Amino acid sequence: MPRSMGDIWVLSNGIYNPVNIKSGELGKQGQPNMVSLKKLLRALLLRQIDSYYLLLVKMKLGASPQATVYLVDILDHLDVTTFDSGPGQIMLKERLFYQRMADGATPPILTLDEKIAKLFEMLEDADRRLLENRQKVQRTIQEMRNLIRLAQAMISIRQG
């Protein structure tokens, strides 16, 4: 198992599962990278893991420091993640995650195969968006080349 999938590994249901540890200052939110989606899918499909835990520690600094700790199987919270095929990483939508935690929202109970299907949907959607973006860039490049050719033709006509 690639050790880069988790910062630590915990034994759960007879399988060692990765735990990704994130820490930061309370109130600061973003979209931290968690894991390569393809690496995660491969490990799940091979049944090398059946969970991917996220341990979040948020600190309130100051005279009375406090820590808020969350431990979740992110496969149960895929609706608060996003994926971009460019970097290839699943990222946590922190603001939405903390809202869900504060609301006490209970994620739907899904089988491992249903979670894998959701990951494939994320991958396919992101690959489609990446392809569309690449095609748009190629069209822009072609338009720029056409402008250069037009400008060169105009210069030739003036000089001719």
| 93, 81 contact by CB (below 8 A) | yes
Q: Give the pLDDT mean for 68-73.
A: 94
In the predicted model, is pLDDT for residue 3 greater than 60?
no
- Confidence bin at 93 (pLDDT 50/70/90): very high
Q: Residue 124's pLDDT is what?
A: 93
Q: pLDDT for 98-139, tens place per residue?
A: 999 999 989 989 999 999 999 999 999 988 887 888 888 888
Tokens of 87: 């970097």
Q: What is the DSSP string of 35-93?
A: EEHHHHHHHHHTTS-S--EEEEEEEE-SSS-EEEEEEEEGGG-GGGEEEETTTTEEEE-
When mean pLDDT is compared across 25-39, 40-54, 66-80, 100-114, the lowest value belongs to: 25-39
**Cα(146)–Cα(88) distance, integer angstroms:** 33
Which percentage of the chain shows pLDDT scores above 70? 98
Query: Residue 1: its pLDDT value, please?
Result: 52
Pairing relationship of beta strands 89-92 and 66-73 according to DSSP bridges = unpaired
pLDDT number for residue 55: 97
Cα–Cα distance for residue pair 136/148, rounded to 1 Å: 19
Superfamily the domain 3-127 falls into = DNA mismatch repair MutH/Restriction endonuclease, type II (3.40.600.10)
Q: How many CB atoms lie within 10 A of CB 51?
A: 19
The pTM of the whole model exceeds 0.85 = no
What pLDDT, on the 0 to 100 scale, is given for residue 105?
85
What SS3 state is found at 15?
strand
pLDDT interval class at 16 (50, 70, 90): very high
Higher per-residue pLDDT: 132 or 55: 55
